[in-house]
Amino acid sequence: YDILTAIPTAFRRDGSLDIEGSRAIFRFVGESGNEGAFVLGTTGEFPAVDVEEFTALVGAAIDELADRMRVIVHVGQPSTYEAVRLVEIAKGLGATEFAALTPYYLKSTEDSIFEYYRAVSEAIGDGRLYVYIYPARSGNSVSPALLVRLAELPNVVGAKISELPLEDIAAYRAAVPAD
């Protein structure tokens, strides 16, 4: 199993992005001996960055880390359109591995969550996708049956699961294919 570090994003006191501070964090993680970096997840404060800042951070992460470790870029957004747009930007910068939080803030049906991931998966193409399950933050859960459906998408390779009890994780593990 790989150890992936969830990387924080650096901000200045006034709340503006500190790209050089973020580069320093990326370099520190790059020297950690871990196998990968998870960029712009919850720890990376993804809701606090706009598209221009997202582009700068992903570019810096790939520049600082891609030759040393895997870089998984989080692209989850409330809307499919925005998530696909971030996929396209990150792909253009060289990203090949992605994670996407379920759509958040507004309640979604399982079918709409599946369609969101189908569209993100199609945008990713030959890349790898992790389903990011964090119902405490997104407001949307993923049932084991839905995760089985999502696992059938051609580039879904795993799940990032946050703040769920071990029983829920065991239910996912029991339901999805071994690979």
Catalytic residue status for 107: no
Residues above pLDDT 90, as percent of the chain: 97
Q: How far apart are CA 19 and CA 56, in angstroms?
A: 7
pTM: 0.95
- Sorted by sequence, the CB contacts under 8 Å of residue 159 that are 6+ apart come out as 130, 131, 132, 133, 147, 172, 176
Catalytic residue among 91, 130, 134, 160: 160
Mean pLDDT of the chain: 96
Catalytic residue among 104, 116, 117, 132: 132
For the segment 26-64, what is each residue's pLDDT rounded down to a tens digit? 999 999 999 999 999 999 999 999 999 999 999 999 999
Kindly write down the DSSP assignment for every residue of the chain, as one continuous string.
---EEEEPPPB-TTS-B-HHHHHHHHHHHHTS--SEEEESSTTTTGGG--HHHHHHHHHHHHHHHTTTSEEEEE---SSHHHHHHHHHHHHHTT--EEEEEPP-SS---HHHHHHHHHHHHHHHTTSEEEEEE-HHHHS----HHHHHHHHTSTTEEEEEE-S--HHHHHHHHHHS---
pLDDT band at 167 (very low <50, low <70, confident <90, very high): very high
Catalytic residue status for 117: no
Q: Average pLDDT, stretch 97-107?
A: 96
